[in-house]
Amino acid sequence: MDLSKDRKMSQLLKAIGCFVVSAVVALVAGCGDSGSVKSGALNETKIPECGFYMNLPPGWVTEEYRVNEYYKRGDEEQSWGMAKFCPMSGGLTRQNGKFKSRKFEDVSEFVRYLIEEDKFQGTLEEVISQRPMKIGEIQADAHQVIYRARIDAGIVYVFDIYIEMEGGELLQVFFQVPGNKYQEFSAQYPAVVKSIRLAEKKVVW
């Protein structure tokens, strides 16, 4: 799925958040507080409304003002990711003379569609692995896919999990890393997946 719009929006919100943090720091300094101001960086991403929590790999952080987005400190532009909701639909089919968005029976069928139609970010070069899985305390159906793609900035590797939620919706949890970080992140990823908690299939828009 195309992540560029989400990335641009997240960068804008990050800039706004940084401005707010800077203003707070300036205010505290002006009041004569000699104590240090914490950055607000966290090592766990979450969507509390549906009980989703996930530990981040060493060196990766998220911010209090946007806890569903995360990045590797010092490499924010190339190593980043997000947990977000999206519809389990795609493309158009014609039914009774009308065009409707295509629906899928389950998350695995949806991922097969993404692969066959090359609906991922950039240009798909190789699917490295994919598998169905269960996620969280509720054992929600999910599908993991790891792939290599070419974007404007070069070759990237994407580690993606689509979790089936209520009402034909999905919770997408992904990481993107540059080509030279693939081996390092591959070693860290299993522990990240194992840490995922999900309490309910509630969709939060």
Which segments within 104-188 are labelled E, that is strand?
Answer: 123-135, 140-151, 154-164, 169-178
Name, in order, each residue with C-beta under 8 angstroms of 107's C-beta and a sequence gap of 6 or more: 88, 132, 141, 142, 143, 162, 163, 164, 170
pLDDT higher than threshold 70 for residue 90: yes
Q: What does residue 90 show for φ and ψ, rounded to 5 degrees? A: 175, 155
Q: What does the DSSP 8-state code read for residue 179?
A: G
Q: pTM here?
A: 0.78
CA distance 6 to 125: 22
In this prediction, residue 118 carries a pLDDT of 87
Rounded to the nearest 5 degrees, what angle is found at the Cα of 196, between the Cα atoms of 191 and 197?
145
Contact 133, 143 (CB under 8 A): yes
Q: What's the whole-number average pLDDT of the chain? A: 82
The tens digit of pLDDT for each residue in 42-80 reads 899 999 999 999 999 999 999 988 999 999 999 999 999
Q: Where are the alpha helices (DSSP H) in the chain?
A: 4-30, 107-116, 182-194
pLDDT higher than threshold 60 for residue 28: no
The tens digit of pLDDT for each residue in 146-180 reads 999 999 989 999 999 999 999 999 999 999 999 99
Classify domain 42-194 by CATH number. Answer: 3.40.1000.10
Domain spans, the chain: 42-194
Where does the pLDDT of residue 121 fall: very low under 50, low under 70, confident under 90, or very high at 90 and above? confident
Compute the Cα dihedral for 48, 173, 69, 92 and give only its sign. negative
Number of neighbours of residue 86 by Cβ within 10 angstroms = 16
